[in-house]
Structures are given as C-alpha cells and as structure tokens.
C-alpha cells in the first residue's frame, strides 16, 4: 500500500477530514498539490469544464489517460484518482480491468467508476487483482440520458435504504473508497458512520470523511457553478482583469517597452 493511500485510510480512522479536487493538467495539479490538497481526481467532468460539452458522455478513455499522465507528473503528495468514462468498463469485469490498467499505467492510483451492485462482479474481479476502486453512488452523471436531467438521489425512504445497503455491501466486497453525489446529508452521514472505508461527498452534506469539488468551481471559473459548490475566489474576475490589462498595455505601446528582448 502506498503512503498516500495509507494516509487516507488513517485519516478515516482518526476522524480527520480529507480534501479532493479535480484537475486536468500539470499546472493546476501542481497548484493543488502545493496547497496541501489530499487528493486529485482526473474526472470525466473534463468533458464539461475543459472540452465545453453539456455533459460527460462523450469523454473517451484515451482522453482520461492523456490528462492523467499530465497530472501524475505534478503530484508529490496528493493521491491520484482517475475516472473510467462511459463505455470503458460496463461490458465485463475483463473490460473494466483492461481500462483500469490503462489508467494505472498513466499514473493513477485509485480508479473510480459510476454504479453500484450492478458492477459487483467487476469490483470483486478488480479488487482481487489489487486495484484500488472508488465506487461512485447517488447521482451518476453518466446516466444523464436515462434520467433525463440531473436529480438528487436517496430522497425517499426506500431509495435511501437501498443506497445505504448498497454502499456497505460494496465496501465489504473490496472497494477502497465510496463517493456519494447529491444525496441527503443525513443519508451520507449514516453511510459514513457505518462504512469501514473513506466516504467522499459532493453535494452530500458536511459529514462525509472527505469533500470533492471541481477545481473550476473552487476557483470561481464556472458559469454558473452548481448549487452545492462554492467559489473561494473570483477567478473569472481576476483573470479577466489581467488579460484586459495585458491587451491594454500592448495596444497602448507600454508593453514590452523598456523590457529586455532577445
């Protein structure tokens, strides 16, 4: 077990909150790592925040591998998670293992996929071969077309009970992490309290072992950010001002005047 993974497991035992953000390139991953972020996820959210699509459905495995390689080169301390995109794992445990192996070769340490008990055999197959799996439950964006829209999960008692049972079964079957998205805080708290493995939340209240946000939401670069996110700086404003100041200096002839040139 790597020291980075062990830190997460020890933090769970000691009740210490962990912090996870997405990143998709060397520069932002390095910033996250140097800021003391505990984990970085190369998410299929790159389809939206990097590629400009309305959803994640078009992201391909080779694209996740490409971005994972860049992020891996930047990290010294943070644990590296990577997503299996739609169509790269559902067919069979063997397909799942092949796709996960590609991400491992790119530098990922934890492989995340969306879906629960329907992939129980995938989990057992991969965990038996030493794969660190993060199972993503609740709102799973890859099923957008099935649902027709993004919607909270586990709201009624029956669905909440199903999710709770599912999460604990997957933890016992070999998952290393659970990620709960857009579920009620009380449900996330119950699962976190019972789970033997770290539970990561996004839009799931404050009681999970860790929180994850898309980096662009944290930095105020999303327009608009999702309702459960929070911007900690006006990134759009700051960067927009810098670019406008640069353009003004060039047009006014004050840059690069007086500066050394080759």
2-51 tens-digit pLDDT: 899 999 999 999 999 999 999 999 999 999 999 999 999 999 999 999 99
Catalytic-role residue among 118, 121, 181, 189: 181
Contacts of 165 (CB under 8 A, 6+ apart): none
212-230 tens-digit pLDDT: 999 999 999 998 888 889 9
72-116 tens-digit pLDDT: 999 999 999 999 999 999 999 999 999 999 999 999 999 999 999
With b for 16 or more beta-carbon neighbours within 10 A and e for fewer, the 53-87 pattern comes to eebbbebebebbbebbbbbbebbeebbbbbbbbbe
Contacts of 244 (CB under 8 A, 6+ apart): none
Tell me the sheet residues that pair with 147.
none
pLDDT value for 227: 86
Q: What is the pTM of this model?
A: 0.95
Contacts of 38 (CB under 8 A, 6+ apart): 7, 8, 11, 18, 19, 20, 78, 79, 210
- What mean pLDDT comes out for the span 198-225? 95
Q: In the chain, what are the domains?
A: 3-231 (3.20.20.60), 235-262 (no CATH)
Distance (Å, rounded) from C-alpha 40 to C-alpha 236?
22
- Does residue 181 have an active-site annotation? yes
């Amino acid at each position: 077990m790597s020291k980075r993974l062990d830190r997460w497991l020890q933090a769970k035992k000691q009740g210490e909150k962990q912090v996870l953000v997405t990143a998709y390139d060397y520069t932002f991953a390095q910033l996250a790592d140097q800021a003391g972020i505990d984990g970085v996820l190369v998410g299929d959210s790159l389809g939206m925040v990097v590629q400009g699509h309305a959803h994640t459905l078009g992201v391909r495995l080779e694209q996740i591998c490409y971005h994972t390689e860049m992020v891996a080169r930047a990290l010294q301390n943070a644990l590296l998670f990577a997503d299996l995109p739609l169509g790269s794992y559902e067919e069979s445990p063997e397909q799942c293992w092949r796709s996960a192996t590609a991400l491992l070769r790119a530098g990922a340490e934890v492989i995340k996929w969306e879906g629960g008990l329907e992939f129980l055999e995938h989990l057992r197959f991969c965990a038996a071969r030493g794969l660190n799996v993060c199972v993503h439950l609740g709102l799973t964006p890859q099923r957008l077309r099935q649902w027709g829209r993004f919607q909270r999960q586990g709201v009624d008692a029956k669905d909440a009970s199903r999710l709770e049972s599912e999460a604990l079964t997957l933890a016992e079957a070999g998952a290393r992490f659970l990620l709960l998205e857009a579920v009620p805080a009380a449900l996330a708290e119950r699962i976190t309290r019972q789970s033997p493995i770290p539970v990561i939340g996004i839009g799931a209240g404050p009681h999970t072992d860790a929180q994850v946000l898309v980096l662009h939401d944290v930095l105020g670069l999303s327009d608009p950010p999702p309702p459960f996110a929070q911007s900690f700086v006006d990134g759009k404003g700051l960067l927009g001002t810098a670019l406008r100041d640069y353009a003004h200096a060039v047009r006014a002839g004050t840059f690069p005047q007086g500066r050394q040139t080759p």
